[in-house]
Structure 1
Amino acid sequence: MNYDVIIIGSGPGGYVAAIRASQLGLKVAIVEKEALGGICLNWGCIPTKALLKSAQVFEYLQHAGDYGIKVDGGEADFAAVVKRSRSVADGMSKGVQFLMKKNKIDVIMGFGKLKGKGSVEVKDADGKTNTYTAKHIILATGGRSRELPSLKQDGKKIIGYRQAMSLPTQPKSMVVVGSGAIGIEFAYFYNALGTKVTVVEFLPVVVPLEDEEVSKQLERSLKKQGIDIMLNSTVESVDASGDLCKVNIKTEKGNQVVEAEIVLSAVGIATNLEGIGLEEAGVKTDKGKVLVDDFYKTNVEGVYAIGDIVKGQALAHVASAEGIICVEKIAGHHPEPLNYNNIPGCTYCTPEVASVGYTEKAAKDAGYEIKVGKFPFSASGKASAAGAKDGFVKLVFDAKYGEILGAHMIGYNVTEMIAEIVVARKLEATGHELIKSVHPHPTISEAIMEAAAAAYGEVIHI
């Protein structure tokens, strides 16, 4: 069959691109080897948030007395928690199936690869191959858990994020290697349910992409919850031959062995570029990424790439935005290139972390003269009422023009607040405009207004 657009991969890059292409009047097919929605819907963003919500509810029960509520007992049913998470993921995947039908997008199940000019070969589960043609082919094959040579995953004792979401029983102990968003979210989840968790991080701070003050606050909060954190440390080897894994960790004070039932490798992602016909088609890659222009065209006419396999942050919302820009350009529209310095990042542990733009250090390194405003949630009426006084909002401004250079938040519900700053930066708002935008009281979000006011010496509540 002949299409205007064939998309290989149905994650948040692929399926969003397919829907937008259909809206623009193009005839679209999408190729998926496993489940519609890709990793994000089935084994990533969505099911992890379901797990984290269960952990949060369990924590509320443990601290119900703090809110004047008497609760007897309260026990985590690990299998039921995992089952709920899988049910949420399945519901979302079915939602994508509905959207494909609604938008008249053909779904082709199987493994897709480039096969000559304008052709895609798809091998189905039975090994049968069919070839489809299209004027435009978009690669959206995503990523998988990256493996370190010293940390080979066996899927049972040494696992990646996928197995961490569906373990048959709750482990009594776990070592999490890597303290990015994935590692920290799982560390919080398992610790909250009663697993003894140790986090090992190669760098001197947790969530190393965040502002340093946020990293230090999160480290304090996680340690308070009972999580052991080993910084400036490297896993040299793991002996998984016994009942417990013996994790040999190189630290600043020498080597140390930590025993745990499960070792979770959360050291980033590797791109899915193998076997999709890149070499045969002559598509250029560099360091595991497909090289593309601002509108996701590769060096080969009619072939495009989006999502984790190209430059930029490996985030679901980035892939979706790239997919929309790519197909709008294909359809003859004039979309703006994506501003990768205005992409929000979120970590959904408790307390939550959210940020966008320059950190304080990055702004200084870029040569800006800056103003910094910080407002602690300990001074927020809503945070006090919610029993969530940990954390703060920190805003970084260009001292000369008042431009919002960056925002860094840690605390209750901050992942729902960061979009205000993304929109403000897109509209080129200034610090004064934030201060003069009346925020509702009492809310967590008024900490943004207060932090802006703090930068300009106008803060009221601290």
Structure 2
Amino acid sequence: MSRDRTMANAFPVDRDDIELIRGAHPPLWKNPEPNGPYNLVVIGAGPAGLTAASEAANLGAKVALIERGLIGGTCINVGCIPSKAIIRTARLYADMRDAENLGGDTPDSLHIDFQRAMTRMRQIRQRISRADSAASLASAGIDLYFGEARFSGPDEVTVAGKTLRFRKALVATGARPALPTIPGLAEAGYLSNETMFDLTECPKRLLVIGGGPLGCEAAQAFCLLGANVILVQREPMFLPGEERDAAQILSDALAREGVEVRLNTEAVAVRTEGGKKLADLVRDGDTMTVSVDEIITGIGRSPNVDGLDLENAGVAYDATGIKVDDYLRTTNPRIYAAGDVCLAYKFTHTAEATARMVVRNALFLGRRKLSELVIPWCTYTDPEIAHVGLYPAEARQNGIPVKTYTVLMHDVARAVMDGEEEGFVKIHVREGSDRILGATVVASHAGEMINAVSLAMRSGMGLHALANVIHPFPTQAQGIKMAGDAYRRTRLTSFWKRLAARWLAWSRR
């Protein structure tokens, strides 16, 4: 079965894991004695909890931070940091295979050192975790407690036999992998984002269940690192929330790299036989069985609300998480929530942004609203798929007329030079204006490129103003400016062309 890799008792793989645990949950740590009511008690030391505790302490608040497992939560230990480190190594091998198209020679025999790739990942994870070690948090004036937090009343929480009273509290306990209800899966054993980074040998055959961001990233990375990967998606396309042409580009890229893509297919049963895991897959009523060494599930995440005794504090929640209003207050006005435990968008950057909102709203009478946030996101496959704002279908459902400006990456000079021509830039504006409603970027560096559009939307800049931003040449972000230039050309109507021609003719007299 899967185990919680964020827990302090997780089995260390190597020396770097041992060092990570020493910093993120010191074995001999002694919890402090509670010292009067805290301005803010934070439950959970992931991205949201760390951000809130640090910002509040920097502003002079008396802060307590409670963590049951490893400081850093999902992001550092089993999420963003390790996954992107592995993806970088996978892209290196992809470039080596594609050397001829980049003006080099493809190695005659390409040896993939999977263990070395995983060792590099753990070194990077341990290095980045140092910034938020237990010692550094304590030196910043934060009272750090390790243990299971439980609410014992509307203004107090208990941890490791101690009772902490608070004026305000923040629940930032994050989320965990959701287990698909497939008969036999738990008994056969499976990997999730919390355990796949413990691998020291590459599985020869790997089944990935789920075509969301996690599943697609894992399938591509492990394929490039030497596994024979089967990716099963119940929907007719990967990333069902994204624009269809973006998902199609990704589907083609995965298939081209060797991933066995099975859309409209559902895993219905798993069993073990002869040391192998056998999975029954159904498509259009037909069943086939595949034999694999490992199975990764990537179907989503469930909020961590169990065991907190939220009922004692009068905090409402359900299977989707803690209920909050637009100011991130729960049904107990003393208690707030932030990050994956209460949000539909379960991203590290969203967790950090909402944590900053809570500090302002809870401690300083702020009125910052969740609905006002401009939230971009990115799936880190190759090419990457990044998005911000509305999709055209959403806008039309809300009665908003939309005009889309599209630039294909094969028309962007730097993308051609880099051999990264696959993808596009799409910027959606309200028809008849240059107000940006949203954007989708499919490119090798889409996650970097979407930032310009996010900044423009947050600052109220229109697409015309974005076109006037000078970009260094050549960059792939030139695609953003080219979309702005396309908008600007549409504003040059026949009337203005005639007027300009008359002016120029008069100026020659």
Q: TM-score, normalised by structure 2?
A: 0.85
- Residues 40-49 or 333-342, more deviating: 333-342
**DSSP-derived class of the 1:184 partner:** helix
Q: Secondary structure at the match of 1:160?
A: coil
Matched, 1:82 2:114: no
Equivalent residue for 1:106, pick from 128, 143, 146: 143
Aligned-pair CA distance for 1:254: 2.0
Q: 1:431 to 1:109 in 2, by over 3 A?
A: same
Query: CA 1:238–1:377 in 2, change beyond 3 Å: closer, same or farther?
Result: same
Structure 1 partner of 2:316: 284
- SS class of match (2:275): coil
Cα displacement (A) at 1:258:
2.3
1:104 Cα deviation (Å)? 1.5
Structure-2 residue corresponding to 1:311: 343
Q: 1:367 is paired with a residue of what secondary structure?
A: coil
Give the aligned partner of residue 433 of structure 1. 465
Alignment match, 1:179: 211
Q: Which residue of 1 aligns with 2:127?
A: 91
* Equivalent position of 2:387 in the other structure: 355
Give the Cα separation in 2 of the matches to 1:269 and 1:157.
Answer: 18
Give the Cα separation in 2 of the matches to 1:209 and 1:295: 26
Q: Is the CA contact 1:11–1:39 (under 8 Å) kept in the aligned structure 2?
A: yes
8 Å contact 1:159–1:264 — kept in the other structure?
Answer: yes
User: What residue number does 1:33 align with?
Assistant: 68
Shift of the alpha carbon at 1:381? Answer: 1.2
Work out the CA distance in 2 between the residues paired with 1:457 and 1:261: 56
Moved more, 158-167 or 144-153: 144-153
Deviates more, 1:417-426 or 1:247-256: 247-256
Match in the other structure for 1:296 = 328
| Residues 212, 341 of structure 1: alpha-carbon distance in 2 compared, 3 angstrom cutoff | farther
Q: Which amino acid aligns with 2:296?
A: L
1:369-410 CA distances to partner (integer Å, 9 max, x unpaired)?
Answer: 111111111111111111111111111111133211111011
Alpha-carbon distance in 2 for matches of 1:218, 1:94: 35
> Hey, what's the Cα distance between the residues in 1 that align with 2:144 and 2:71?
9
Give a deviation string over 1:171-229, Cα, whole Å, max 9, x none.
01111111111111101110111211111112221111211221111111111111122
The residue number in structure 1 matching 2:175 is 143
Q: Give me the whole-angstrom Cα distance separating, in 1, the residues matched to 2:312 and 2:157.
A: 12
- Tell me how far 1:139 sits from its aligned partner: 0.8
Following the alignment from structure 2 to structure 1, what is the Cα–Cα distance between the partners of residues 489 and 230?
41
Q: CA deviation at 1:242?
A: 3.4
What do residues 348-370 of structure 1 show as CA deviations (whole Å, max 9, x unaligned)? 11111111111222222222211
Change (3 A) 1:26 1:13: same
Displacement of 1:334 after TM fit?
2.4
- The whole-number CA distance in structure 1 between the counterparts of 2:393 and 2:244 is 8
Inter-partner Cα distance in structure 1 for 2:51 and 2:331: 23
- Helix, strand or coil for the counterpart of 1:437? coil
Q: Which amino acid aligns with 1:4?
A: N
Paired with 1:325 and 1:376, the residues of 2 have a C-alpha distance of 37
* Shift in CA distance, 108/6, structure 1 to aligned 2, threshold 3 Å: same
Distance (Å, rounded) in 1 between the aligned partners of 2:139 and 2:410: 48
By how many angstroms is 1:311 displaced? 3.2
Whose radius of gyration is greater, 1 or 2? 2
Deviation at 1:143, TM superposition (A): 0.6
Partner of 2:421: 389
Which shows bigger deviation, 179-188 or 339-348? 339-348
Note closer, same or farther for the CA distance 1:453–1:333 as it changes in structure 2 (3 Å cut).
Answer: same
**C-alpha contact (below 8 Å) 2:327/2:358 kept by paired residues:** yes
Percent identity between the two aligned chains: 28
Could you say which residue in structure 2 is the equivalent of 1:115?
152
Alignment equivalent of 2:81, drawn from 39, 46, 55: 46
Aligned residues: 454
Matched, 1:169 2:201: yes
Greater Cα shift, 335-344 or 357-366: 335-344
1:63 paired residue number: 98
Q: CA 1:216 to 1:72, structure 2 compared with 1: closer, same or farther past 3 Å?
A: closer
Match of 1:126 in 2: none
| Deviation sequence 1:71-130 (CA, Å, 0-9, x none) | 56442221221122122112222211265245211211112111223222113xxxxx22
Structure 2, unaligned runs of 5 or more: 1-33, 492-509
Aligned to 2:478: 446
Paired residues for 1:216-295 under 5 Å:
216-252=248-284, 254-295=286-327
Three-state SS of the structure 2 residue aligned to 1:402 is coil
Q: CA RMSD in A?
A: 2.0
Note the residue ranges of structure 1 that are not aligned, 5 or more in a row.
124-128
Distance 1:253 1:397 in 2: 43
Give distance in 1, aligned partners of 2:428 and 2:223.
33
**TM-score, reference length from structure 1:** 0.93
Match for 1:437: what amino acid? V
Partner of 2:4: none
8 A contact 2:176–2:301 mirrored in 1: yes
